[in-house]
Amino acid sequence: MADKINVLIPEETVDAKIKEIGEQISKDYAGKEVHLICILKGGVFFACELAKRITVPVSLDFMQVSSYGDATESSGIVRIKKDLDDTMENKEVIIVEDIIDSGRTLHYLIPVLKQRNPKSIRLCALLNKPDRREVEVQIDYLGFDIPDEFVIGYGLDYAQKYRNLPFIGVVEPEAAEDAEEGAEQASGEEKGDNVE
């Protein structure tokens, strides 16, 4: 079945915004090194593009967390599925996320990471859904505020497809509903990136 996809944010606009964020980070961390912590899986596309546009030295590590519940609501229970490979002690850390939704995952994760003694810790997100926020998190570097839509592309998936799209798209409503119903039926499976 071919899914109907509408472009929400075109590739050129995404690229320009990532360049802008990279320039701001480079300015803010002039003379320092930046340690990016990419939240898998969705954040990897954004993190790689962002790292290429940062002019100060960059190191990169990955973490995978999952939040369980039904397809549209986060349970607030967060589990670390893949922990960091390296220490973050005394490092200037930026957490890189594809999308901030309810805020629960990062509300849990940031205090956990602060216990590992980074020199500083900031949050960078490509997308933010303010209408879905349940707990506040401070986003230090933000690409775009978006409406409460089921979005795909740039790391965000629909049934594990479309992460590789170079733009941010919206799946037609009936296709998104099918995806949500399918996720509800797949009990115990990891939630998609549109809910964190």
Q: What is the pLDDT of residues 48-92, one digit of tens each?
A: 999 999 999 999 999 998 765 444 455 556 788 888 888 999 999
Please state, in angstroms and rounded to a whole number, the distance separating the CA atoms of residues 174 and 140: 34
In the sheet that holds 151-152, the strands lie side by side as 5-9, 168-171, 151-152
**Domains (ranges, CATH) in the chain?**
10-149 (3.40.50.2020)
Measured torsion, CA atoms of residues 52, 58, 60, 66, in degrees rounded to the nearest 10: -80
Residues forming the active site: 101
105-146 pLDDT per residue, tens: 898 899 989 999 999 999 999 999 999 898 889 999 999 999
144-193 pLDDT per residue, tens: 999 998 899 999 988 888 999 999 999 876 655 555 554 443 333 344 55
